[in-house]
Structure 1
Amino acid sequence: MSSTAVPALDKTFQILDLITDSSQPLTAAHIAKELGLPRSSTHNILQSLLSKHVIYKDPESRFYLGSYLMYWAGKYEQQQGVVQLFKDLIVQYPVLLQHTVTLSKLDLGEVVFLACHESPAPLGFTFRAGVRVPAVFSATGKAMLSTLSMDSIKSLYKDAFPTPMTSMGSRILPIWATELAVIQDSRVSLDDGQLRDGMYCLGTYIRNASGNAVAGMAVSFFCKESMSLNGLRSVRY
């Protein structure tokens, strides 16, 4: 396993890998000896993992994997399902191949990109997986935020919006709330140069079987292209 810049994190992964590979639960002493770790460090890490239910301890003080890992696995599987849906949609509608199309999810007050299909013409903005931007300035972020109550949105930002990324961004709550009301009616959001000057993004959200917004999808293009996007009207999210 490659090391990180955080020694404590390296030790945590070493412990989890050892417990995972073992055919039976392990004691703290065995873990420390097997990995050559100080007993004090091993104890502290095990206690932290226990508190989060990442591992469990049996009556004989032996450790094994906990149920919280199932939560991670379920979320990963759910996320991968959305990514596959994203890829299938692009193939289903060839008109999307001409543009930059992104898939993202809402993480508190930010949008995290999960996948991206790049257009033949670079937009000058990085949409690669893992990149985060303020949700209030992105098309997908606005779309997903529109499914929340205003009180929930205010709690994300504590009544203060992030610093605008361009001159098109606004930190005035009433103006943004008015825009959100329009998005709630249409399910379509617009980033008119708020992430990058001259770049427009049209977005919407993807709902699961329960009707909850689980991801957002957007088509990005240069402002001058906005008059030639009639083909996108046939796309159904």
Structure 2
Amino acid sequence: MTKVVDMADAQPKRLVPAIDRAVMVLDLIAAEPGVAGVSELARRLGLAKSSVHGICDTLCALGLLRVAGSGFEMGPRSLHWSASFLDRSDLVSEFERILSEDRRLDDYTVTLSTLSGAEVMYLACRNAAKPLGFTFQLGMRLPAIYTATGKAMLSQMESEQRQALLAGPWPAAFTANSVASLEALEGQFSEWRQLGYALDRGEIRDGMVCLGAAVKDRSGKPVAGIAISMTSAEASAAALKDCGVIVGELAAKLMVR
């Protein structure tokens, strides 16, 4: 178990109250993106509502937070500070090591992502040399419901948790193939669990097919997702079957222990 250090006890003379309060807000929102608005944050953190309002306004203006429904989620600027950590993190490093050793996917675009609220955020990507018509980038965010990794991670959640996460407005469709409702999405999950991977058949971009598998922790909860992307011309039944096996194997190797 990770030991929580009370910084107010560890360094009482160096603690800046305004920064401490801002970090409290960021920590709660990072743990529960989109859940809490100003009033709820103030109540749960034991802070004045006016103080929390000013903190959230400032953090939004700086790009460290952004509005998500009736609450907030982490903003894109946090990626500037996390880049060096991500470069050294065990999960990203292991992803890169596995790809360097397993040459079966050299012809395909391969990505590593995690859930951030109802979106997936890309932690690492290796784009194929041949044209795919879509370029994945570090820090890119896409609606989880339309992506292979998002579907794979969502399929491994308890139904109540999944529905709470997707309770907000349904994102605008990217293509005519984008799943149209939560009911339609729920109907796909048993297939993804049976296969061991999920499919995005042109839901992000016409002509692009992705297969994604969930990376789990020791308790079986999804913490990340790994995906293979290809053109629809490459996505024969045989190719999908073979790549489905591979992406499942890679996700198992990346399991967070």
When normalised by structure 2's length, the TM-score is 0.62
In structure 2, the CA distance between the partners of 1:176 and 1:49, relative to structure 1 (3 Å rule), is: closer
State whether structure 2 residue 192 is matched by structure 1 residue 183. Answer: yes
In structure 2, the CA distance between the partners of 1:233 and 1:164, relative to structure 1 (3 Å rule), is: closer
Residue identity matched to 2:196: R
Alpha-carbon separation, structure 2, partners of 1:151 and 1:171: 20
In structure 2, the CA distance between the partners of 1:122 and 1:207, relative to structure 1 (3 Å rule), is: same
Structure 2: 5+ residue stretches without partners: 1-10, 28-80, 251-257
What is the CA distance between 1:141 and its match in structure 2? Answer: 0.2
State whether structure 2 residue 1 is matched by structure 1 residue 48. Answer: no
Residue identity matched to 1:174: E
Alignment of 1:155-166 (within 5 A): 155-158=164-167, 160-166=169-175
Alpha-carbon separation, structure 1, partners of 2:126 and 2:191: 27
In structure 2, the CA distance between the partners of 1:132 and 1:25, relative to structure 1 (3 Å rule), is: same
Alignment of 1:191-230 (within 5 A): 191-227=200-236, 229=239
CA RMSD of aligned residues (A): 3.0
Structure 1: 5+ residue stretches without partners: 1-22, 29-42, 55-71
**Equivalent of residue 137 in structure 2, options 106, 128, 141:** 128
Residue identity matched to 1:206: V
What is the CA distance between 1:146 and its match in structure 2? Answer: 0.6
Residue identity matched to 1:194: E
For the 8 Å contact 2:199–2:211, the answer to whether it is kept is yes
What is the CA distance between 1:25 and its match in structure 2? Answer: 3.1
Alpha-carbon separation, structure 2, partners of 1:233 and 1:135: 19
For the 8 Å contact 1:82–1:215, the answer to whether it is kept is no
Alpha-carbon separation, structure 2, partners of 1:78 and 1:103: 13
Residue identity matched to 2:163: K
What is the CA distance between 1:166 and its match in structure 2? Answer: 0.7
In structure 2, the CA distance between the partners of 1:209 and 1:123, relative to structure 1 (3 Å rule), is: same
Q: Secondary structure at the match of 2:112?
A: strand
The farther-off stretch of 107-116 and 76-85 is 76-85
Matching residue of 1:25: 13
Residue identity matched to 1:100: T
| Count, aligned residues | 181
Alpha-carbon separation, structure 2, partners of 1:112 and 1:206: 14
Q: Secondary structure at the match of 1:121?
A: coil
For the 8 Å contact 2:110–2:228, the answer to whether it is kept is yes
Report the structure number with the largest CA radius of gyration: 1
In structure 2, the CA distance between the partners of 1:117 and 1:172, relative to structure 1 (3 Å rule), is: same
Alpha-carbon separation, structure 2, partners of 1:209 and 1:124: 36
TM-superposition CA deviations, 1:177-204 (whole Å, max 9, x none): 1111211222210000001010000110
**Equivalent of residue 94 in structure 2, options 66, 78, 85:** 85
State whether structure 2 residue 239 is matched by structure 1 residue 232. Answer: no
In structure 2, the CA distance between the partners of 1:210 and 1:48, relative to structure 1 (3 Å rule), is: same
In structure 2, the CA distance between the partners of 1:194 and 1:48, relative to structure 1 (3 Å rule), is: same
What is the CA distance between 1:105 and its match in structure 2? Answer: 0.3
Moved over 6 A (4+): none
